[in-house]
Structure 1
Amino acid sequence: MHIQFTNRRVLVTGSTAGIGFATAKGFLAAGAQVIINGRSQQSVDAAIAKLGDAGRAATGFVGDLGTAEGCAALVAAHPDIDILVNNLGVFGPQDFFDIPDSEWERFFQVNVMSGVRLSKAYAPGMVERGWGRIVFISSESAVNIPSDMIHYGFSKTAQLAVSRGLAKRLAGTGVNVNAVLPGPTLSEGVADMLKEDVARTGSSLEQVAADFVVAQRGSSILRRAASVEEVANMVLYASSEQAAATTGAALRVDGGVIDTIV
């Protein structure tokens, strides 16, 4: 299978680091034109510089897509997109009884409404052209709601509802909508969350992450954290011509954490 995105215009939200950056890099390697998005000029410039020669096919957009204004500014600057990857998201452990209303609202606006607004803006053009891909980066936490991140799990479940419903709404148009569900993934954010354990134990980050998976996600079959590239591979497939018959799906890259055969 040879996946190519020559002449495809791709937007990956929240793509200066982590899964988003790995996904953008994969699209660029396969010939796409990619918009790199971050909230600061510094982070966007650094991400494009990190891409090296591949960055010549990348365009930066600085904006907070967790707001309606940020989404509107992006659409005004880049009105036509063939592939939309709704990757932008925030996470962090917090006890349910300590989560203020403002944090519930922030998680909902960033994790859910950014994708809703951008899908609403870009899907009509995809329908008019008869081809398009929309991918929501959800999480295994959408199914296995973590007790220490209930607000995060709630937002990721909401993404699954939007993804499935939008796929049905766009039935027969040539525009496919799917969700990708990563499990524990060794992104910069997770590395930062585990840095104290790395310092305390003297173990490698990979080993600490594997220990975390075993301890906190005991149903994992993989028994380690996935790499950001492993998750990006699924996103690229779901966005490809080869995935023409895959729509309305929740595609798991969770290492078997979700204990179901379906």
Structure 2
Amino acid sequence: MHIDLSGKTALVTASTGGIGGAIAAGLAQAGASVGINGRSVGSVAAAMERMGSAWQGALLAAPGDVTTDEGLEQVVSALPHLDILVNNLGVFEARPALEIDDAEWRRYFEINVMSAVRLTRAYLPGMIEQDWGRVLYIASDSSVAIPAEMIHYGMTKTALLGVSRGFAKAAAGTAVTVNSVLAGATHTGGVEDFVYQLVDRQLPWEEAQRAFMREHRPLSLIQRLIEPEEIANMVVYLSSPQASATTGGALRVDGGYVDAILP
């Protein structure tokens, strides 16, 4: 399958590294012009320098904290027109359920859910008007199998599934598709920190990863962390013309963790 996104403009939130960076690289390799987003001009510039320009597509600076009105306006001003929106921004942290206060519940919902809702509201009308577009939400296996160690995170990812399905209905009858990607535990710097919250910090990384999968993700069929590029592969496909009949869906890249046939 040859995926060609030449002439398409994409935005990937929180794309200065990790899963977002891998998604941005994948879209650029397929020929799209890709907006790199982070909270500061400096972080975006540093990421673009690291990523280079060896791909078909161009990298575009789109700094701004999309959890705020000012940051959202800054991003929309930099990229007034989009063909592909990837809502990747999200925070997570292990926390005992009964220790999560109201402010933390609200903070997680604002960052993980409402930032994506606001961006969708900003860009989906233009996609519908031009009769082509892709909106994607990076959800999680935690949306279906709520982790006991971070139920506030799981709640936000469950909410994204409802948001995704609802906006897919808003685009019904057009060539705009809206989908969620259920990512499993993925190997990023933030996840390494998370793993060491749950296992012995004295363990070398490879042993710590195996201990984490064995003790906290025993249902994983691949028994390893997923690499960011593996998430990106699904996102690039769903962003492509080849995925024109896939909408309103929740597609899993979870290493077989969720023990169900459907999400």
TM class by shorter chain equals over 0.9
Which residue is 2:231 aligned to? 231
Cα distance in 2 for residues equivalent to 1:154 and 1:198: 27
Partner letter of residue 24 of structure 1? A
Asked if structure 2 preserves the Cα contact closer than 8 Å seen for 1:67 and 1:110, the reply is no
Q: How many residues align?
A: 260
Cα distance in 2 for residues equivalent to 1:195 and 1:259: 25
Asked if structure 1 preserves the Cα contact closer than 8 Å seen for 2:131 and 2:175, the reply is yes
In the TM superposition, what is the alpha-carbon distance from 1:167 to its structure 2 partner?
0.7
Identity of aligned residues (%): 51
Cα distance in 1 for residues equivalent to 2:200 and 2:189: 14
Asked if structure 1 preserves the Cα contact closer than 8 Å seen for 2:94 and 2:194, the reply is no
Partner letter of residue 145 of structure 1? I
Cα distance in 2 for residues equivalent to 1:73 and 1:60: 11
Q: Considering only aligned residues, what root-mean-square deviation do their CA atoms show, in Å? A: 1.6
Aligned to 2:154, the other structure's residue is in SS state: helix
Runs of 4+ in 1 over 4 A off after TM superposition: 195-199
Partner letter of residue 189 of structure 1? G
- 1:75-94 equivalences under 5 Å are 75-94=76-95
Which residue is 1:163 aligned to? 164
Partner letter of residue 200 of structure 1? Q
Asked if structure 2 preserves the Cα contact closer than 8 Å seen for 1:186 and 1:209, the reply is no
In the TM superposition, what is the alpha-carbon distance from 1:206 to its structure 2 partner?
4.0
Cα distance in 1 for residues equivalent to 2:54 and 2:200: 33
In the TM superposition, what is the alpha-carbon distance from 1:150 to its structure 2 partner?
0.9
Asked if structure 2 preserves the Cα contact closer than 8 Å seen for 1:11 and 1:35, the reply is yes
Cα distance in 2 for residues equivalent to 1:192 and 1:243: 35
Partner letter of residue 105 of structure 1? R
Which residue is 1:184 aligned to? 185
In the TM superposition, what is the alpha-carbon distance from 1:89 to its structure 2 partner?
0.6
Cα distance in 1 for residues equivalent to 2:210 and 2:166: 35
Asked if structure 2 preserves the Cα contact closer than 8 Å seen for 1:13 and 1:88, the reply is yes
In the TM superposition, what is the alpha-carbon distance from 1:136 to its structure 2 partner?
0.2
Partner letter of residue 169 of structure 1? A
Partner letter of residue 33 of structure 1? S
Is there any run of 5+ residues in structure 1 with no aligned partner, and where? none
Aligned to 1:38, the other structure's residue is in SS state: coil
Q: Deviations over 1:94-145 (max 9, x none)?
A: 1122212221111111110111011111011111111000000000000111
Which residue is 1:208 aligned to? 208
Partner letter of residue 179 of structure 1? S
Partner letter of residue 83 of structure 2? D
In the TM superposition, what is the alpha-carbon distance from 1:54 to its structure 2 partner?
3.5
Asked if structure 1 preserves the Cα contact closer than 8 Å seen for 2:28 and 2:34, the reply is yes
Q: Deviations over 1:42-91 (max 9, x none)?
A: 22112101112238811112211112332122213321000000001111
Cα distance in 1 for residues equivalent to 2:207 and 2:73: 42
Asked if structure 2 preserves the Cα contact closer than 8 Å seen for 1:180 and 1:235, the reply is yes
Asked if structure 1 preserves the Cα contact closer than 8 Å seen for 2:53 and 2:59, the reply is no
Cα distance in 2 for residues equivalent to 1:50 and 1:5: 22
Residue 253 (1) aligns with residue 238 (2): no
Asked if structure 1 preserves the Cα contact closer than 8 Å seen for 2:13 and 2:36, the reply is yes
TM-score by length of 1: 0.95
Partner letter of residue 139 of structure 1? S
Cα distance in 1 for residues equivalent to 2:74 and 2:101: 29
Which residue is 1:17 aligned to? 17
Choose 205-214 or 242-251, whichever is displaced more.
205-214
Is there any run of 5+ residues in structure 2 with no aligned partner, and where? none
Q: Deviations over 1:197-221 (max 9, x none)?
A: 58512x3x34422331221111111
Aligned to 1:220, the other structure's residue is in SS state: coil
